Structure formats: C-alpha cells, structure tokens
Structure 1
C-alpha cells in the first residue's frame, strides 16, 4: 500500500512539474513577440498564429521570402516565424560579416541542426561550439590543397566514365538525344565521394553493378529530405516538444534503418583504416606499404591518431563515423546539382559554351592535374559564375546565443520612422542569411546580377570585396568558422567534370528555360514545372562534339 501511495505521489509530482513547465513554455511563447527588440522593424505582417508571416511560403514560392519581401521592405527586415516569434532577414554585407565572424554568438539554427541530425547524424554539418571546433581542427588537414591534388585523377576518371555512359545512350537513339543529366551526374559524384571520401566503391555508374546497400541507405536518407509535409509537421512538433521524441514514427524507423547500414559499413571501414595507420606506425616489415590509401577518411583517422593530438582532443569512433554522411553531402549533392545547373546555363549561352570548349581543347592531355585545371581562366570564370548565380544552398540560418548589437552598412528605418545604423538582437533570435540573394544582389553585382555572364570575372566590381565569403567574393561557401571545409574538393571536382563533358558534347535546351524551376532540400535542385512530384530532373539535348 505504501509503495502504491509513493508511486501515486511521484506521478502526481511529475505531472505537476510537467504541467508547470508546459505553462511556462506557453507563456514565454505568447509573450515573446511583444518583447522582441526587432518587433518595430519593417516587414510583412503575421497571417497565422502558428506559421507567422510564412503561411504561404512553400518550396515552390520561396521567392517571396528571398526576393519579394526584400524588394518591398529593404535588405534588412523582420518577419514572424513559427508561433509568431520574430526573426531577422539580412543581406547587409556588414551585418553578415559580423554574424559569420562571431560564431560563438551566432550558432547554427537549432531547427535545421535537429532535422539534419535526425537523418545524417551529428557530424561537422550539424554540430556547433566546442564540438564543431574539435571536429574541424582534426578534419582540416584532409581538405588541404595537397590532399585534393592527390584526388584529381579520381575526379577525371569518373567524369570520363560518365562521358562513356552518355555516348552509349546517344548511340542507342539519335545524334542529339535528350538526356536527364542530374541522374548521371549524381551517380558520378557518388562514385567520386565513395572512392575519394572513404575508398569505397559504390559502382553507381556501372549499369551491370549489383545493388549496393550503402548506396541504397544514402539514397534513402536523401529521399527523406523530400518527404511529405505531414512528416515535416511531425518533426516540427518533436523539435518544439522534446517529450514527443520518445514516441516512434515512420520517419524514425526509416532513418534508423538507413543509419544502421551506415553504421555497420562505416565502422568496418574505420577499423580497417585504423589498423592501417597502426601498422604504419609500428615500423614492421610491411609498414612501408601499409598506408597507401589517400581518401579523406584515412587522412582524418591518421590526423586524429597523431601523437600531436592530446588524447582528450581526439574524436571518438562515433564522431569519425558521423563524418561519412558529411563527406557525402559536401562532395555529392552540391557538386552534382551545381554541375547540372552549369550545363543548363551553358545550354542557354552557346557562345560561352564554345569559348569554354576551345579553351579546354587547347589542353594537350585528357587527364589534367589539379594545377592544369586551375590554370584555365575561362573554366574558372564559368565555375565562379555558375556558383554565384546557382548557389547550391539558397540560405543558412543562425540563432543568437546572447544579446548583441548588429552593425549595418545600410541604415534601416523602422515602422515608427526611426533610423537605425545598428540593430539590437535579443538572445534566441533567429537570423536568415540569404546566400543566393547576396550572390545576385544588384547593389553589389550591378543591374545584370541575375544573368549568367562569365566575362564579369575578367574585371570584377570592387563592391564584391565587401562580401565575407571564404572563396570567390561570394557567399556560396559561406565564411567564418562555419565556412565550407570542402570547397577546394568541390571546385576541382566540378572543373574535372566540365573539362571532360564540354570537350565531348554540345549541350542545348530540351525544354524552354522557364519550364525548369528550383526547389531546396538542403541543396537547390532543378525540377520540371508541373512535374515536381517526379523528382529532380534536368533534361538537355546532348550531342557529340565534332572537331573541325
């Protein structure tokens, strides 16, 4: 009886505490918008208590947030987010520089980190703070110029294999065949990151290859990014109310199944590579030939096991395992869709395509090194212009961890007519940094900012010096402590693909340009208007180039 009374008392106390916590959270949410320091800035009104200003912002009309509202309210404005909380949008270069250079104050968006972490685990892409600094410190050596140089022949080899696959497709049809280019590019870059990332053969380009379980697991992970809004709503509820995370759901079961395969195969790879490193360090008879692997995972493990790294600063096997999906996202999706958009842009600019082809054909070898690829100025200009106009990631988010003062290069006038040269930011405020919008800002790039013009890089405007990006005076790879660690890898891989493909083929539009739209699922993907449910696709007319 006493035990029963004790249980009832404990349950009552727990229920009371949970109810009090829930009431406190609700009161905080309700009061939050009335106390926000940015509530008087200009911006769109709230149209929904749940979704704030964003009721009508779906993937197909995200231009409202990134184009229409900035045009109406200026480069820095406020909008109301989930549960009417105020968030800040800014493409002001001075403000963005401050945010990116103060990563300890402006952490990664918690909601994005939660969603991506559920699918891909907690690698460099999702972690923050000390954990991010620790992982990045260990991973940096694997992404240096010398390491990428060693991988260039893998990039070229897989590009040539894709060329051969497309030649076979064309031979089976007409001289000019419509080819859905994202499929082949995705397979090529998957093969590249498998070999260059962790010395694993996906064999995605091999039509006779057997189904690959790791390939299928990663495909499942990426497919989850495009899942139905009902799953997204469920995830949002679990993000907002952590207690709900104890209840299983279909999304959780699918991610668990995919992650189980990743974990089993990944841990096997990690143990094999650790054995290689230890064998080399032992100095035995075979140690000279033990460590021949040049993939990123081996380099990461070697750096992590270095005697220069204190034991308490080394990554655990779990931390190392979490980088496998990180490698995949950085070296697969971004490059494949970036290259697809480049071919699409060149299909609309035949003069630029031919100019690039002539430069590429002037190279005597068909297996260029990293230095030879980087020595081609027009190829570099085409890649820069593609990544400017068609940035793989549309935007990124940050959340302030403490109160701060945000400086502005362009003052803003609030709803009450007051002019602000800086903005007070409360702790917990979400900030949207529009990568794509900054890349095509007419203030920075001129009136033709949205047009694909590689020649603009022959004499770029001095205004672009204000952009705090880690590469190319653009926001594509971000800047600051969270700048893309693999940007050199992505650039050389993209150049290798273009080198092989543009030398071999002529690309023309298969559909009018306005029939191709972009939607985002981590990265921006091309879709045919009215056929979004069929998945990402970008058909182009492809025909062999005949040398004169």
Structure 2
C-alpha cells in the first residue's frame, strides 16, 4: 500500500511539474515581444521553420532577411518564437556578453555527450578557467612548431591521390570529403596529443586503432535520428526515464574508449614533463602536452588549475573541433575550397602559380602566411563556405538587445531594441549583400585585395566575418585552423589538378549535425559527398 501511495505521489508530482512548466512556457510565449516581429509562417505544425533553417544554404540562407528585414521572428517547435538576426549591433551585444547569452541547454547536452565537459561545452567561470590554461597552446610560437606536422600529413594525402590517379589511367575520381576528414583526423591526432592514427597511406584500410574507431563511430552517426533521441534532447527529465537508444549505446561505448586512451595520453604527457624533457622536444609540442605543462606551472594557484577531468575532456574536444567544426576546422572547409578550385580554373591557375614560385617544399608558417593570394583564397572560402552555418544562444536573464537597423512590428510600431531567444545565422551574415555588396554570393578571392576590408561592422574574431564567431567564446584554435588549411592547399595545389566530376549545379549542401556538408542532388542515396577528378599537374 505504501508503495502504491508513493508511486501515486511521484506521478502526481511529475504531472504537476509538467503542467507548471507547460503553463510557464505558454505564458512566456504569449507575452513575448517576438509575437509582433515580422517573419515567416511555420512550414510544419511541429517543427516550425526548423527544416528550412537547416537546409536553405544554396543562396537562400538570407531569404528571410531580404523579405522581412534584418530582425526576423521564426518559429521553432510547435510554433514557439525565436529571433533570427543579421543586425551587426545586436550580434556585437550578444557575442560580447557570453555570461548572459549562452548556448541553449539542449545544445550543450547534444555536444556534451560527445566531447564531455570540454571548452566547447562549459560556460561562465568554468569556460574562462579552461580557456586561460589552454591559450598558450594555441599561440604563434607553438603553431610554428606544428606546421611541420601539417605539411607532412598534407604530403601523405598528396601521394595517396597521386598514386590513385596513376593506377586509374592518369585521372582518379575521388570523394574528397571523407579523404579530407581522414587527413584532418591524422593531423589533430599528431598535433593534438602526439598520437598517430595512421589513417593515411597505402595500409590505412587495415590500420584502425581503437581511438580512431571510437571517434569514427560517433562522427558517422546522426545523433538525433530517432523520436526518443529528439525527446531526450528537448526534455531533460526524459533522459533518465527513457531507455537507451542505439545512439546512446554508441556514444557510451565510444566515450569509454576515448576516456581510457585519453587517460593514457595524459599520463604519458605528465611523465615526459616530470622527466624534464626539453621544451623544444618534438614529443612536447603537441597541444595536450602544452596544456598539461601550463596546468602544472608553479606561478598559478590551485584554484586556477584544471582538474584531471577537465584536462581529460579536452581529448575528445580536440578530436571533434579539429575534425570538422568552426574551431580547428579543416575537413569541411578544405572540401569547399577544392570545390571552388575545381569550378574556377582561373582561380586554380593563379593560386598554383603563386605557390610554385616558392622554392621550398616544406614551408614554414611565416612563409605560408606571406603568400597573398593563398591568404585571399582561404579568407574567401571561410567566408562563403563557413562550415558551421548557424549557432544558437539563449538569454539567462531579461535583457534588451540594441539594434543597428530598427524594425517595424505588425502594429506599425518602430523598435530599436528587442528581448529574444536567438539564432545567429553565421553563413547568412557572411554572405549578406547589405554588408558585403551586391557580389556577396559570388566567390571572389580578389575582394580581399581591397583596402579597407569589404565589411567592418561584423563583430567577428577574424577578418570581419562570423566563421570563428567573436567575443569571449570565439574559436580558441582559429590560428591552428588557418595554418593547417594553408599547408593543405600549398601541398595539394602545387602537385595536382582538380576538376568537378559532376555539374556544379548538381552540388547542394545540407546540415549534418552542426556542419554544412556537400551532397550530389542526383545521387542523394550516396549521402554527403564531393566527387572531384584529380590528376597530377605537369608544368609546361
């Protein structure tokens, strides 16, 4: 009887809590100032405008701003309101106030169950503490030492493609997306924690170590494929009540492997440092060793040091960030860069001519950064093809966001401020004609030869764009990404020629988890891909 009474009490409590939460959400929506902001109708009764939000990346990402203005109300689940803004003053306010505007809880859960409590997930003082310890590992001096790794792995990829072309009659058709993904994984493995995945090379198919396998399982899985996964994402209580899904089991197994091997890597780094190895030693140049050394420094207090759990969390963080996100990005960005080279022969020729003029097959970071057209090409690729097309923020308390461009609501009232839950449309801002000019949707590396820069009002960390975001939560590894990208292009373009294997109009893009990737419209069943014809370059 007691058990039945207790069960009934628990059910009643949960029911009351659910009803209270629902009424609170409905009240907040009913009184929301966003209700009168102009915007599109829902495309779906349950999903609202989420489907076009994650799919309109083929020149349509700025459609809402063109129709309704720079500040737009869109609809999320069940028609609840969300702010979509390309207003530069609003973006500056949001990105500068990272304690107030944080990643939504659902987003932190989504990413956190893959990487753990690393710098990509944590907020406020914990994020500030982790970032302060990690900053020295991403400085210019450290990246100069890592450039050799970037070039070495780029050469391995070059040789793989050249060999494939040689055995295919001189021209090889390659889906470059997974190939770049493999190269990026090898690079972050070696540069991140002195761990070689051996993914590239003739024997790559037979060498599949545990850490590579664990990460491959997670990265190849859509983390929100089922209804239960979606419910757990949006309703925290259900994460404990609902049974594990297939995705849950994959994540648990892969995380256990990454954690176990991460502990081994962490132990090795500490052992080498304790043995007094020289700071110039190759073994101590990797990001994890630099992080461990900074965390062991005598001039920081115990309160400033990271716990072993915090340090350990950076292993999967480096893997995910270095593999395909806007932080330490490369596989997705490099794929879109090759797309532009393959569809613009004149750009490919000009870039190759500049690179061949360098009398050095092993360029340093400074030599790579001194190449002006390579720099223009990298900037334009990251502007026009930002791998992460959008991100989300939610206000932790009431706030008023200032607007550069006032909006007129449905009642005809003009507003210069707003209080929202927000979408930050990175790609739409990077391609906004109001900021970049009428040619914003054209791929023009030459735009970066102008002075001043094309747009100066975007509050981005790097090059007046939002690709690496801005403010206190901007990408800590953006310099790593840029040098890595330049090393790849330098090595590949000098030796190989690229041509698109399908008509350019057949290439579309789709958001996979948080990254926008290419697909072939006439071959959707094949999944994400970028087919490129590759052949050795012969200098006349």
TM-score by length of 2: 0.94
Q: Does structure 2 conserve the Cα–Cα contact (< 8 Å) formed by 1:276 and 1:291? A: no
1:529 equivalenced with 2:521 (yes/no) = yes
Taking the TM superposition and a 5 Å limit, the aligned residue runs for 1:103-252 are 103-209=98-204, 210-224=207-221, 226=222, 229-230=225-226, 233-246=227-240, 247-252=243-248
Secondary structure, aligned partner of 1:466:
coil
1:317 aligns with 2:311: no
Other structure's SS at 1:77 match: strand
Structure 1 segments unaligned to the other structure (5+ residues): 281-285
1-side partners of 2:502 and 2:116: how far apart?
A: 38
Give the corresponding residue for 1:367. Answer: 362
Of 15, 21, 30, 2:11 maps to: 15
User: Could you say which residue in structure 1 is the equivalent of 2:339?
Assistant: 344
Aligned length: 531
User: In the TM superposition, what whole-angstrom CA distance separates every residue of 1:90-146 from its partner, at most 9, and x where no partner exists?
Assistant: 011111011000111111122221111122222111111121111111111111111
CA deviations 1:420-478 (Å, max 9, x no partner) are: 1222x1xxx42011111111110111111111111111105556111111111111101
Moved more, 402-411 or 150-159: 402-411
Task: Identify unmatched segments of 5+ residues in structure 2.
Answer: none
CA contact (8 A) 1:304 1:314 kept: yes
Partner-residue secondary structure (3-state), 1:541 = strand
Secondary structure, aligned partner of 1:404: coil
**1:307 alignment counterpart:** 298
Partner SS state of residue 29, structure 1: helix
CA offset digits 1:183-230 (Å, max 9, x no partner): 322211111110000110100003324221111111111112x35632
Q: Is this contact kept in 1: 2:58–2:508, CA < 8 A?
A: no
Aligned with 2:69 (options 74, 83, 87): 74
SS of residue paired to 2:476:
coil
Matches within 5 A, 1:470-485: 470-485=461-476
Cα distance in 2 between the residues matched to 1:63 and 1:510: 19
Q: Residue 32 of structure 1 contacts residue 85 of structure 1 at CA under 8 Å; is this kept in 2?
A: no
* TM-score (normalised: structure 1): 0.93
In 2, are the aligned partners of 1:117 and 1:126 still within 8 Å (CA)? yes
RMSD of aligned C-alpha atoms?
2.0
Deviates more, 1:198-207 or 1:119-128: 119-128
Tell me which residue corresponds to 1:275. 271
Contact 1:95 1:406 in 2 (8 A): yes
Q: 1:343 to 1:318 in 2, by over 3 A?
A: same
CA distance in 2, matches of 1:134, 1:100: 18
Moved more, 271-280 or 530-539: 530-539
Which of these residues, 429, 432, 436, is aligned with residue 423 of structure 2? 432
Aligned-residue offset at 1:329? 2.3
2:399 maps to 404
Give the Cα separation in 1 of the matches to 2:267 and 2:172. 46
Q: Which residue of 2 aligns with 1:28?
A: 24
